[in-house]
Amino acid sequence: MELPFLLAGAPADDRRFDVEIAVHLSKDGRMLLELPTTAAAALPGQWRDLVKAGRDGGSVLEVPRLRNNALCQVRLHAGAAHQCRFIVQPSKGVAAGLHTVEIRQFDGDIQVGGITWALRPRRDA
């Protein structure tokens, strides 16, 4: 499953944001974050160290299987608009029930962006 989103900076000035990724999926899956190389360079050092070369000259990061992952102090340039996407790879399909993937962007204590995807198993007719 591909889940696209936009990682955006402030319109007028360079700024640092905190980004939180909350994952509620079955335990047997993997989740990758595909992002442009320029966006990967904006990640904090401990996260940059986990980034690998992706397709089309981009970068890919396997998101750790934690309920919440905090990427603190992500440096985004003024007007930045990075096309990113999560790739969810369940090994046995999505288990019964509701699963969610959420990304939230904070400027200090204020949430300035975010998106949540709700995933359910496909019902074959």
Mind listing the domains of the chain with CATH numbers? 2-119 (2.60.40)
**Tell me: the pLDDT tens digits for 27-48?**
777 888 999 998 888 888 888 8
Assess whether pLDDT exceeds 70 at residue 97.
no
Instruction: Tell me the C-alpha distance between 62 and 48, whole Å.
Output: 11
Q: Please write the tens of the pLDDT for every residue from 47-85.
A: 888 888 887 778 998 888 777 888 899 999 999 999 999
What residues form DSSP beta bridges with 5? 84
> Alpha-carbon distance 91 to 50, whole Å?
22
